[in-house]
Amino acid sequence: MEKDSRPKWDNPTQFLLACVSYAIGLGNVWRFPYLCQMHGGGGFLIPYLLMLFLEGLPLFCLELGIGQKMRQGSVGTFSSINPYLGGVGLASVMTSLYLCLYYNIINAWSFWYLFNSFQSVLPWAECPINTNRTGPVEECERSSPTQYFFFRETLDISSSIEVNGGVHTGQALCLLLAWVITYLFVVKGVKSTGKVVYFTATFPYFVLVIYLIRGVTLHGAANGIKYMFTPKLEQLANPTTWINAATQIFFSLGLGFGSLIAFASYNEYNNNFERQAIAVSLINSGTSIFASIVTFAIYGFKRCVCVTRLLLLNTFDIAEDNITLDTALDWVRELNMTYPEKFAEIADQLQTCDLEKELDTAVEGTGLAFIVYSEAITNMPLSQLWSVLYFFMLLMLGMGSMLGNITGVITPLRDFKFFSKMSNELLNGIVCLFCFLLGLGFSTPSGNYWFTMFNDYGASFSLLFIVFFESIAIVYIYGMKRFEKDMEDMVGHRPNWYWKIMWKVVSPLLLLVVITFYIVGYIQGGTPTYHAWKKDFDIKLHIV
């Protein structure tokens, strides 16, 4: 029977590392620090950890359990529960497919930055010179070298989503490379994936530790970390905080894509998934917190204070020694009082080096990873080394998640008779090729707008829906009693009261609440808008 010839992980560690590698992705690095800062610093940990135990952990364990029991992909699993539920599995596959299409472009960008780090001067450290050789390129001067490098040289972004153009060759090549590597990692299914995850799961930690050590020695690191962790408990009264915590935990764990079910389906029947679920969830949250410490340490005040200090020195002709990075902001206040007219002249050039304001300027997502971080890197000595380390880490995080995504598509496909006859290599190759060709659309000038659209809407609300139906299906349609018996069969003991209460009541209820909030948000939000990069104007504008 096919079940006996189903490929397996070499050992439970591979499965654990695969889950870790999949769950810990770019969101841990670029979304969590932003949320933390937005919702009251250290205080955000309270709703975050609460949601972890109320919703994240139970749902994670549920998906692993059902996958290990059914030993099929998401489509097969839910069809086995009830033929009419096959749609839930299909929805998972579709969402995974969307994710596969647009996620690898991030890896392409990481490759682009990685390759461009092998130069004596990092290309995003300075503005390129215009054709007349009179000064830096105007677009670059108006924004900043890092922004210019990202929006112009990497993306070659157009002014709106309607304006298109040809494919950016560099991007297309990097995307090709990303897909070729993905294929290499999954070509033999679990056998190849299992070996790769040893590296993709562990290397990011190695880099994060190095960065942490580097970060805490940077000027302003202590301030950054202190600011981040000072709890502002008033934020807890805001319902958005709780909703954001719930959604962050949810998306961070990668529930609903079918990848976890797929990974678990390759387990030994008696694998202790309960313990592994707890381990992975805790590791995931721990990494988010750790990554945000690093981010805040690195980012800190440095650049803004440097610029302010220089401005003060030059306008008021004060000796260089007198104003240091520590005293710069005190001097601002003093000079404002003693020379108000002269100060007023430069007031508009002076940036308020307020960490809150700095971080308010949309420092999440690709903006944080590719613009802010790369700017921080240019300020470090030996910036090429730091750049290579950092973008390699981003690649490991992204590739690890891609493995899960692509497995979430391929494993359910193999549930269908038609595809199961194909060899592993051929099916994986076809899927990778298909996703690559469609993904080329993201490397066009308007690609980043499409990417934002996919990122914000492609796999957010639908996932909540899917997981809600998953939990109802397993707990009520498949039956709690049957699942308890299965768990006893597999692991050796029945689930205790915590699991039962969460699965039966709390998690579905929480999901329902979050779904309602989303729907209300959509209705109240009106027509969605996006930020566009206007070449000739000031940095970014809203466009409907």
Binding of other proteins by 440 (CB under 8 A): no
User: Considering Cα of 483, then 487, then 488, then 493, what sign does the dihedral take?
Assistant: negative
Least separation, in Å, of the C-beta of 188 and other proteins? Answer: 7
Cα–Cα distances (Å) from 474 to 69, 75, 246, 289, 404, in that order, read: 12, 14, 21, 32, 22
Query: Using the rule CB under 8 A, is 173 a contact of other proteins?
Result: yes
Q: Is position 328 an interface residue for other proteins (rule: CB under 8 A)?
A: no
- Verify binding: residue 181, other proteins, rule CB under 8 A: yes
Q: Which of 374, 404, 369 is nearest to 146 (CA)?
A: 374
Among 183, 203, 449, 503, binds other proteins (CB under 8 A): 183
Shorter beta-carbon distance to other proteins: residue 313 or 513 = 313
Find the binder of other proteins among 11, 82, 230, 314 (CB under 8 A): 314
- Maximum Cα–Cα distance for the chain, whole Å? 87
Residue 173 or 362: the one with the smaller Cβ distance to other proteins is 173
- Min. distance of Cβ 262 from other proteins in angstroms? 21
CA distance 285 to 248: 10
143 in Cβ contact with 539 (< 8 Å): yes
Shortest Å distance, C-beta 177 to other proteins: 6
Instruction: Give the x/- contact pattern for other proteins in 104-143, rule: CB under 8 A.
Output: -------xx-xxx-xx--------xx---xxx--------
Nearer CB in complex with other proteins: 275/421:
421
Give, as ranges, the residues between 13 and 42 that touch other proteins (CB under 8 A): none
401 known member of a binding site: yes
Rounded Cα distance between 242 and 180, Å, is 40
Residue with Cβ nearer other proteins (112 or 331): 112
Q: What is the DSSP string of 120-173?
A: SS-TTTSPPB-TTSSSB-HHHHHS-HHHHIIIIIIS---SSTT---PPPHHHHH
Mark the segment that binds other proteins (CB under 8 A) among 18-26, 172-180, 296-304, 357-365.
172-180
Please count the residues of this chain forming the interface with other proteins, following the rule CB under 8 A.
36
Tell me the two tokens of residue 58: 């139970």
Residue 187 Cβ, how far from other proteins at the closest point, in Å?
6
The answer on whether 28 is annotated among ligand-binding residues is yes
Residue 75: both structure tokens together: 């489509």
Please say which residue, 142 or 531, places its beta carbon nearer to other proteins: 142
Q: Is 397 annotated as a binding residue?
A: yes
The reply on whether position 174 binds other proteins by CB under 8 A is yes
Query: Measured in whole angstroms, how far is the alpha carbon of residue 489 from the centre of its chain?
Result: 36
> Least distance from C-beta 48 to other proteins, angstroms?
38
Count CB atoms within 10 A of the CB of residue 408: 29
Taking the CA atoms of residue 522, residue 523, residue 527 and residue 529 in that order, the dihedral angle to the nearest 10 degrees is -30
- Asked if 4 interacts with other proteins (CB under 8 A), we say yes
| Spatial distance between the Cα atoms of 516 and 510, rounded to a whole number of angstroms | 10
Q: How far is the CB of 420 from other proteins (least distance, A)?
A: 15
Stretch that binds other proteins, among 70-78, 186-194, 240-248, 465-473 (CB under 8 A): 186-194
Q: Measured from the CB of residue 112, what is the shortest distance to other proteins in angstroms?
A: 7
180 near other proteins, judged by CB under 8 A = yes
- In the stretch 405-434, what mask flags binding to other proteins with x, by CB under 8 A? --------------------x---------
Nearer to other proteins, 120 or 527 (CB): 120
From the CB of 510, what's the least distance to other proteins, in Å?
42
**Shortest distance, CB of residue 269 to other proteins, whole angstroms?**
15
Interface segment toward other proteins; rule CB under 8 A; list 36-44, 49-57, 183-191, 401-409: 183-191
284 is in an annotated binding site: yes
Nearer to other proteins among residue 238 and residue 314 (C-beta): 314
The H-or-E segment that residue 530 falls in is strand 530-533
Q: Give whole-number Cα distances, 55 to 35, 37, 112, 277, 465, in Å.
A: 18, 23, 37, 13, 14
Identified binder of other proteins from the candidate list 6, 142, 152, 188, rule CB under 8 A? 188
3-state secondary structure 281-318: HHHHHHHHHHHHHHHHHHHCCHHHHHHHHHHHHHHHCC
Residues in the chain: 544
Of the candidate spans 96-104, 171-179, 353-361, 518-526, the one that interacts with other proteins by CB under 8 A turns out to be: 171-179
319 near other proteins, rule: CB under 8 A: yes
3-state secondary structure of 244: helix
For residue 512, CA distances in Å to 97, 204, 248 come to: 25, 34, 16
Nearer to other proteins, 318 or 346 (CB): 318
Q: Is 5 in the site for other proteins (CB under 8 A)?
A: no
- Is position 452 an interface residue for other proteins (rule: CB under 8 A)? no
The residue written with tokens 């397993």 in the block is 474
Q: Establish how many alpha carbons lie within 13 A of residue 339's alpha carbon, considering only the half-sphere containing its beta carbon.
A: 12
CA–CA distance, 26 with 39 (Å, rounded to integer)? 20
Q: Rounded distance, CA 285 to CA 279, Å? A: 10
Alpha-carbon span 147 to 541, nearest angstrom: 15
Query: Counting contacts by CB under 8 A, is residue 192 touching other proteins?
Result: yes
Q: With helix as H, strand as E and coil as C, how does 403-432 read?
A: HHHHHHHHHHHHHCHHHHCCCHHHHHHHHH
Tokens of 233: 């408990």
Cβ 220 to other proteins shortest distance, Å: 18
Which residue positions form the known binding site for Na(+)? 23, 28, 252, 284, 397, 401
Binding site for other proteins (CB under 8 A): 1, 4, 111-112, 114-116, 118-119, 128-129, 133-135, 170, 173-174, 176-177, 180-181, 183-184, 187-188, 192, 313-314, 316-322, 425
